Structure 1
Amino acid sequence: MKKTALICGITGQDGAYLAKFLLGMGYEVWGTSRDPQGVNLQNLDSLGIRNSVRILSLVPTDFRSVFIAIRNSHPDEIYYLAGQSSVSLSFEQPAETMQSTVVGVLNVLEACRLVDYPIRLYHAGSSECFGDTQGQRADEHTPFRPNSPYAVAKASAHWLLDNYRNAYKIHACTGILFNHESPLRPTRFVTKKIIGTAKRIAAGSDETLLLGRLDIQRDWGWAPEYVEAMWRILQQDTAQDFVIATGVTHSLEQFVATAFDYFGLDWKRHVRQSPELLRPTDPLYIGGNPEKAERILGWKAKYQMTEVIAAMAQA
């Protein structure tokens, strides 16, 4: 029988790519928005799937709203990708970040517990939960040491889900995703900011790119590949969590240099560090070990940082 998926956060980067992937797998796809009439569906438009998904109202912090959305869509699988997703913005909006992430996940878990049929739930975790991994590649057993309100929220949601899985036998899983990029990234994300600025400078702009720390090291992958990992996680007979990463880490300086070099530019002539863009806390190194995902899910990242930059630059 045809499966039904409910994607909370369908208008974002991951939600849009996931919707396209699931449609290709033959799913009926529902997506949620606080305001279905006024929602921006630009990402769905850009992927050519706007008319292939059904949008319904869901306010993550309102349990009644969550329960009704699940009752009306009757999903086999729920992908909770909603919530405030910017680390920098979480320092300015800590309450909104905590509520949309933690309370949202709690309400979905409660709804899954109370409905009269089994639902499989995927929760979008984050590598930020690990904090600074101090040169080591984090796996599913690495302790969390969150360094931002965003990371604290994601870690809290992770343990809530773990508790419900153990207490109520809900088939609920967390994908601990490391950084994954695409042309659908909002401009507030540093990768989109870097590539967009380099592209404009190459076209004749005399602007300067302002950045914070350049020595931070992250694992950057390709978002369309990562949404397939989300789906594979939910197809396992046993509910469990997975680290999803490329396994290769680069500094932000390397990312900047590679992006500017793609356009034939010397980044040092166009980039300046700004104290105003430094975060109160910022882990120096966050690396991931995706060995379990490769072994159990059969998933392995094909795009590394250089390929990610090229694909975003060409878009």
Structure 2
Amino acid sequence: MKRALITGITGQDGSYLAELLLAKGYEVHGLIRRASTFNTHRIDHLYQDPHESAARLFLHHGDLTDGSAIMSLVARLQPDEIYHLAAQSHVRVSFDQPEYTGDVTGVGTTRLLEAIRSTGVSTRFYQASSSEMFGASPPPQSEETPFYPRSPYGAAKLYAYWMARNYREAYGMFAVNGILFNHESPRRGETFVTRKITRAVARIKLGLESSLYLGNLDAVRDWGYAPEYVDAMWRMLQADSARDYVVATGTRFSVRDFVSAAFACVELDWEQYIRYDARYERPTEVDELIGDASLARKELGWEAQVHAPELVRIMVEADVRRLSEELDGSAARRTRYDP
């Protein structure tokens, strides 16, 4: 039985990847930060699985700023594969917390790579790189496109990218960078623009809100579906040799397009509800990110099936359903306890 360690297992990608690996028969270990409140809601259902997969999921407290603890965990687990997904991953927040972003997103990767090197563990390492590393470089962006990050987050991810390549080339480590373009799902955090939009659409449709405040509507992104992207991660670590891959749909969709499609799902005119707020603008904007995943298609057999219009529908329907269930539950509780 293969053993995998996932950092960031409680995030969007980590939860989908845990599902995938458990379905493939892996023993899955996840690194989570200790906090005063539980933040495992994305993976709680895995513990309730009626099959034996729940017995193959283990969580360990740790932090990417604690190199000795990471080294100890890697030495004890001896994982066959390590998927490094944990990061301070919000681009806008990185402008407010550049030092923290650099320490966790950038140097945290080095701590994990050094733990592998120092312990001598024979493992395959996946680094979650980002299309934000391309920044101002014009699309389409491929593995050969020059990097030009436009945020502390992009710069930190670029540092981590080069460290993974350095450890691969200097020490013969099987280390790959998955340069993933934007990928979303109903599990996306509520502060990210896509989920902010779909959640607001649900609340407006159900009469709980009257408007949605956004920044730059002209930014163009290549949006895919997260469950498909974690499959690409797994494929990279099954390859005969280690190399870096772009993972993307190859299609363009602006924030405005996303907003329009989301409101159309509930038959509302988006222009009646959108308000501009300069606070959501970035100090330096990335205008257009569109990936060329030809290499992943050729060598990994991976190709995106869900594109932006269907992704929007999936997310809006999930948020409408979730909110409707919450409202129905609240109404039932009020009825139960009212005298």
What range describes the TM-score normalised by the shorter chain of this pair?
over 0.9
Do the aligned residues in 1 keep the contact of 2:137 with 2:146 (CA within 8 Å)? Answer: no
Look up the match of 1:44. Answer: 43
TM-score, length of structure 1 as denominator length: 0.96
Q: How much does 1:133 deviate?
A: 3.3
The Cα of 1:72 is off from its aligned counterpart by: 2.1
Which residue in 2 is equivalent to 1:125?
Answer: 129
Over alpha carbons, which structure has the higher Rg? 2
Structure 2 portions without partners, runs of 5+:
319-339
Identify the residue that residue 285 of structure 2 maps to in structure 1.
282
What is residue 194 of structure 2 aligned with on the other side? 191
Contact 1:3 1:76 in 2 (8 A): yes
For the pair 1:263 / 2:261, whether they are aligned, the reply is no
Distance in 1 (CA, whole Å) between partners of 2:241 and 2:158 is: 21
Structure 2 CA distance for aligned equivalents of residues 22 and 264 of structure 1: 38
Where has structure 1 moved over 2 Å in runs of 4 or more? 36-39, 46-52
TM-score, length-scaled by structure 2: 0.89
Name the structure 2 match of 1:23: 22
Equivalent residue for 1:32?
Answer: 31
- Give the drift of 1:64: 0.6
Q: Which sections of structure 1, spanning at least 5 residues, go unmatched?
A: none
What secondary structure, in the 3-state scheme, does the structure 2 residue paired with 1:205 have?
Answer: coil
Root-mean-square deviation (Å)? 1.4
Indicate the SS of the match to 1:137: coil
The reply to whether residue 237 of structure 1 matches residue 256 of structure 2 is no
1:100 aligned onto 2:104: yes
Q: Aligned residue pairs: how many?
A: 313
CA contact (8 A) 1:57 1:69 kept: no
Q: CA deviation at 1:58?
A: 2.0
Deviation at 1:34, TM superposition (A): 2.4
Per-residue deviation, 1:114: 1.8
Distance, in Å, in 2 between the alignment partners of 1:47 and 1:282 is 38
CA distance in 2, matches of 1:117, 1:63: 16
1:268–1:129 Cα change, 3 Å = same
Aligned to 2:59: 55
Alpha-carbon displacement from aligned partner over 1:71-122 (angstroms, at most 9, x marks no partner) = 2222000001011010011011111111011111101111111223411000
Decide whether aligned partners of structure 1 residues 176 and 205 sit closer, same or farther in structure 2, where only a CA change above 3 A counts: same
Report the Cα offset of residue 273 of structure 1.
1.4
1:77 aligned partner: 81
- CA deviations on 1:232-266 (whole Å, 9 max, x unpaired) are 01111111000000010111100100000011010
> Percent identity among equivalent residues?
45
Please state how far the C-alpha of 1:42 moved relative to its aligned partner. 0.3
CA drift of 1:57 comes to 2.1
State whether residues 128 and 180 of structure 2, in contact with CA within 8 Å, keep that contact through their aligned partners in structure 1: yes
